[in-house]
Structure 1
Amino acid sequence: MGAARPPPAGISAKPPANGRSTKLNRILDMTNDEAIARAAIAHLQTTYNAKGDHGKFDEMMTVFAPDAVFEVPGERHEGVAAIEAYMRGVLANATLAPGKSSPARHNLTTRQVEFISPEEATGISLFLLIRDGEIVQTGVYFDRYALVNGEWKMSYRRVKMEVDRV
């Protein structure tokens, strides 16, 4: 074995003085407000996929801020009404339509949320869409979240498709 490599720029080679890892410090130093915000944002992400998979658009739309923007490759939808109209069209598509041999199931993985301020956050999450036991889509959600009237809402979502067999 050769000599140990130096850590990447911005990463200290020494552990924090308190003996905990840097990652553990960040988790343990999280405020109650941040923990609550993270849970609320995770709930938004889950609600979006679960309600969409079941065609419950009234409930799905509750995750969005009134002026939210939703982008998919080649399309941009502004405002909850436009987003809902787009989603209803997706459900009418044969891929997600009711009556298939199995329902569509979105699975989220690798969620990361960073706070810009106490009222704003950004997020990235990976998704898989499974249909009839097969992965038919994979991609990345790029999100922005905002505190609206005391509730976390999705203010922006861009969907990047990586695999699309739909």
Structure 2
Amino acid sequence: MSRHHQLTAFIARGLIAALKPALALSMCAVAGYAMAAMSHRTVDQITNFSVSSASGMFQFAPNLVRIEPGETLTFLNSRGAHTVKSQKGFWPEGAPEVDITGQLEADVVFDTPGLYGVTCRRHGKYGMVMLVAVGDVEPTQEDYEKISKLKASKSAKDGYQRLMWELHK
């Protein structure tokens, strides 16, 4: 190998050695950003005026979310008539309940694994519900029975059942 090639190889090895820590740090930063993006999702509350019936007009978007324990959902537009409320009878035992009213944005951390039924206090009767699946959970017969026993409208119960089927796919 010529002296020129030896010098070039020496410089290249030195550059690689010098850049390894910076490259490792940048990879960690990218991975950390990706994890933060995964652990923080947004749910909007919308009124879709293009729908002719109230049962499809009021929605959480998305209305079905699967997350890991400790992840955060940010709920948007909990103002005016829209709210975010724990569905009594369809919420993991021991998990803190949610009741958001009059806020443009509110964060909720879901630590306890399980299925969480979420409703809008005013529009839940029209089927404005969502399902949050925390951890590696699948709907059980007991979950379907919980839905049938809810003190909720038929539209809300049908909405939860539909979301459970979607989750099960």
TM-score category, normalised to shorter length: under 0.3
Q: TM-score of the superposition, structure 1-length normalised?
A: 0.27
Larger helix fraction of residues: 2
Q: Which has the larger radius of gyration?
A: 2
TM-score, normalised to structure 2's length?
A: 0.26
